[in-house]
Amino acid sequence: MKKLLLGNEALAQGAIDAGLSGVYAYPGTPSTEITEYIQKSKIAQELKIHSSWSVNEKTAMEAALGMSYAGKKSMVVMKHVGLNVAADVFMNMSVSGINGGLVVVVADDPSMHSSQNEQDSRYYGKFAMIPILEPSNQQECYDITKYAFELSEELGLPVLIRMVTRLSHSRAGVITGKRMAQNTVQLPKISTQFQLIPMHARGRYQHLVDIQPDMLEISENSAFNIFYQGANKTIGIIASGIAYNYLMENFEDGNCPFPVLKISQYPLPKEPIKVLFDTCEKILVLEDGYPFIEEAISDFLGENRKIIGRLSGNIPRVGELNPDNIANALGFDIVINENLPKVVMGRPPQLCVGCGHNDLFNAINALKNESATQQVFGDIGCSALGVLSPYESINTLIEMGSSITMAKGASDAGIHPAIAVIGDSTFTHSGMTGLLDAIIENTPITVIISDNSAIAMTGAQDSAASGRLISICKGLGMEEDHLKVITPLHKNLQENIDVIREEINYKGVSVIIAQRPCVQLPKEKKDKLKEYTNVSIN
């Protein structure tokens, strides 16, 4: 029977049915529902599949590698920028290889619906020299994930599955198959495999290079790379992943007259691309994200104008694909009957009614009026909404954890007051190490941890920081005199302004924990939080 599943859910079910023993992840749009599906799955609970959230993507990937080392099948899931955090282990585990099947799932966000860039994870896959799979629809999300675990164990390498927002967050009917058995514990056969000291790493890297031709052969014979013949050779089309759907949308009942190579597995299959190149007048490359394929098969000096796509300007260089920009590239007319009426105003996201960040920003803004030099370094999460009107409290927003370290660098350069605002989960994700830098030098910065005890933006998942912030800060070496707790409520505004002002005036590092539970948390969780919010610092 068909089940109606999000692309993310189909992928998760595919992993369970592949014999998964553990999923490791940190929430991030558009990847979050993959792990949540496994957390809620009854079968996953019966099979004791590990699915608790990790502190960040690096710890998640390392734990997945540890489970693979022990012989079991594991998966690690993140959004595209999360792979930057995990890049160290990602690049090195392709050299060590894996033991139990290991699948890395990365959800890219073309058009930056919920992200700060639209980096294309296929470059990482190529960089690490491992196979990449790119499903085009929900059924393929399921099928490809099961296949990914087989492929991983066959090659002894991690396999990357690349998702995009529109596939992650779209539902369709999916037919599921039988479930494979989980692996038992079995240590690696070669004792030196995971010991990447140079003398062993050189051998492993040579092995990785040596099996590249095998990977290419597998890709050229893959059931997920399909060559569709077409009589009209004026143009040959390469469509990867979800681009294939947008292409077919432009033809009645999917009857495309042109030859089409649908690509869902990499390394790029050379043979069919060569056939397309030799038999067609032009090649149109359709891919969501960066011009990865187009660049790989284009002539570097640009003397051969046969290949068109994003680089040639036939498809916009930035932003996600859709049926319309592909229709344009094919020279089809788009009939738009109506334009967007002028009366329609933008409606950007905003903080929920009753959100504690609101009252914190009000306090920070009051202090902005006292010091023209005040700079506020922000961070990822709901608190990032402080960039927007009506607050406009935050001057910078770059990536997870950067608030504290940028404040430190700016302070070193002479900026005062230098205030960092970071959410509780972002702090444990990658703010703690930066705070240690500041503590070691006693840098005059004021760190405000806006603690709503949730990973709020992605749906109020459990935060690793809950109940631990004070002990973490003390453990890192924070002086008790400059470790303060406030409650960001309107009635406390003046008191909170006074606390922040006092810490700004202190010529050393201060941490203010602004504690108020996320309004999206269920009541049971809020009640549980009361147990620790009343704990005093001393």
Of 210 and 252, nearer to another protein (C-beta) is 252
| Two tokens, residue 389 | 């009107």
Least CB distance to another protein at residue 136 (A): 9
User: What's the rounded Cα separation, in Å, for the pair 515 and 357?
Assistant: 10
Least CB distance to another protein at residue 429 (A): 17
First-last CA distance in the chain: 59
Whether 51 and 23 have beta carbons less than 8 Å apart is answered as yes
Whether 325 and 315 have beta carbons less than 8 Å apart is answered as yes
Least CB distance to another protein at residue 163 (A): 12
How far CA 229 is from CA of 135, 281, 536, in Å, comes to: 21, 15, 72
By the 10 Å C-beta count (0-12 exposed, 13-18 middle, 19+ buried), 267 is classed as buried
Least CB distance to another protein at residue 317 (A): 20
Least CB distance to another protein at residue 350 (A): 4
Of 219 and 240, nearer to another protein (C-beta) is 240
- Give the dihedral of Cα atoms 74, 77, 80, 82; nearest 10 deg: -90
Which amino acid makes up residue 240?
A: S
Of 108 and 503, nearer to another protein (C-beta) is 108
Contacts of 14 (CB under 8 A, 6+ apart): 141, 142, 143, 144, 145, 146, 176
Of 87 and 387, nearer to another protein (C-beta) is 387
Whether 156 and 97 have beta carbons less than 8 Å apart is answered as yes
DSSP code for 344 = P
Least CB distance to another protein at residue 150 (A): 27
Of 392 and 441, nearer to another protein (C-beta) is 392
Whether 285 and 297 have beta carbons less than 8 Å apart is answered as yes
Of 231 and 344, nearer to another protein (C-beta) is 344
Of 97 and 386, nearer to another protein (C-beta) is 386
DSSP string of 323-335? HHHHHHHTT----
Among residues 102, 103, 133, 98, which one has the least CA distance to residue 204? 98
Least CB distance to another protein at residue 230 (A): 16
Q: Which residues bind another protein (CB under 8 A)?
A: 2, 4, 29-30, 32-33, 113-114, 166-167, 169-173, 242, 244-249, 253-254, 322-324, 327, 334-341, 343-352, 382, 385, 389-390, 457-459
